[in-house]
Copies of this chain bind each other. A is one copy, B any other.
């Protein structure tokens, strides 16, 4: 497959724009062909019009039909083979192992949602049968089900060019829900985006999906994204990225004539608490795993542990001093991200002590891992120290007492995750800490590190503001599907006019809440 640089609009491609954009290899600084052209407003409008038409067909596709589509996307991504892996690596600066791993995550995510659709029970079908004899008033027959919202806008994230991008979690859950997707590619991985966009286009045609079920638009900056959020026919937004970016999209969406849901996952500091007893017992093991988690993917994970809180422990600090010089940095995703990392580090240097500095690679835009330390009291004085720095850095916060740790936990904002390391004894003593933390995050972990975000049924990758703009949902895992649906109730419908999921004979054999009881 040749890269063309053209916007994908349903089954067609276009390139009407005049503003050229080019992919840059962050490790070498070299630009890569082809030229992409920023989408025009006409192209966006055409994508929306096609999406609206397609939605009237796509929303009626069965679970099995949508499953076949998602599975075919996964197959087409696999079929891209080394072409995709190589483009991914040169656009992101990330190594081959990561590229292959992320491709696997992306395709198995598509296949997991396909399974969910074939199973069919996700629709939350509810039936309250008619009670015509009921006094004082009869009850009508009521049946409700989750239905797709319409055409939605999704934004590619810089840090996962596959798993949180064109065929990533947001697209997959929106398509699974029955929504049509207009995707705004991230300019940091244009070629990777086009390759995956073509895979979706091909799969849509092969599985008889309507023209317009998916479109992919390119942009160098914010114009097309802004127009997408403001388009009156767009019904929801998915985004993963910075607080600044996500909050701006949220504000735009809320000031529309018709406000729409915005699922912006805006990252967080993901505090890790290491309790006293385990800090004695497993000091060097925890230190090692912590550093591994900090530098994973050059620290460019939303769940990167940006802060570790520990009761004053010289031994642990010494171990970190020793180990942190050995950890390896690497090329960051873009020169802009690397510049911001350096700025963040410079700022932290003014307030915090350096524990250790890791190794840089010899490539361009290479980030040096760096571990800082401060005290809980100093952090209260300089709260900017607690802000996320996107990259392979973390701040160790030393506390003088349990009371200080508890008070600090209480002062936390919303985060995606919080982690506690503790022995049985620690956890008993710090029960209150867990109670506090679970009210601050979407996921709370014991004795692990937050950088692994499983794609499964129970995963919550979300959390209270400012970690996201909607804590009631997750952007990873099968629960993500209901971000793109709303319930509709059918009253006194004859069987033949009901969706299959609600027909009396339960032809799809799904779980349903019938008169208050779950039944199959």
Contact = CB atoms under 8 A, between A and B. Distances in A.
A511 B516 contact: no
A136 B488 contact: no
Contacts of A143: 458
Given A140-B452, A488-B441, A250 B261 contact: no
A472 B444 CA distance: 26
Given A250-B259, A497-B427, A516-B119, A144 B460 contact: yes
A486 B263 CA distance: 14
Nearest to A461: B489
A457 B128 contact: yes
Instruction: Report the contact-size class of chain A (Cβ under 8 Å from the partner).
Output: 35 or more
Contact of A497 (B434, B471, B491): B434
Copies of this subunit: 2
Given A136-B101, A142-B454, A442 B489 contact: yes
Given A465-B259, A516-B119, A516-B457, A445 B492 contact: yes
Contacts of A473: 486-487
Interface string A445-477: 111100010101111101011100111111000
Contacts of A139: 454, 456
Given A259-B465, A516-B115, A518-B518, A128 B454 contact: yes
Contacts of A439: 150
Given A127-B458, A452-B140, A487 B479 contact: yes
A510 to B, nearest CB: 10
Nearest to A515: B457
A258 B442 contact: no
Interface of A: 56, 101, 104, 115, 119, 121, 126-128, 136-137, 139-140, 142-144, 147, 149-150, 250-251, 254, 258-259, 261, 414, 424, 427, 431, 434-435, 438-439, 441-448, 452, 454, 456-460, 462, 464-466, 469-474, 479, 482, 485-494, 497, 511, 513, 515-516, 518, 520
23 contacts: A119-B516, A128-B458, A140-B454, A142-B456, A144-B479, A150-B439, A250-B259, A259-B465, A442-B486, A442-B488, A443-B488, A460-B487, A460-B488, A460-B489, A462-B486, A471-B486, A472-B486, A472-B487, A473-B486, A473-B487, A479-B487, A518-B518, A518-B520
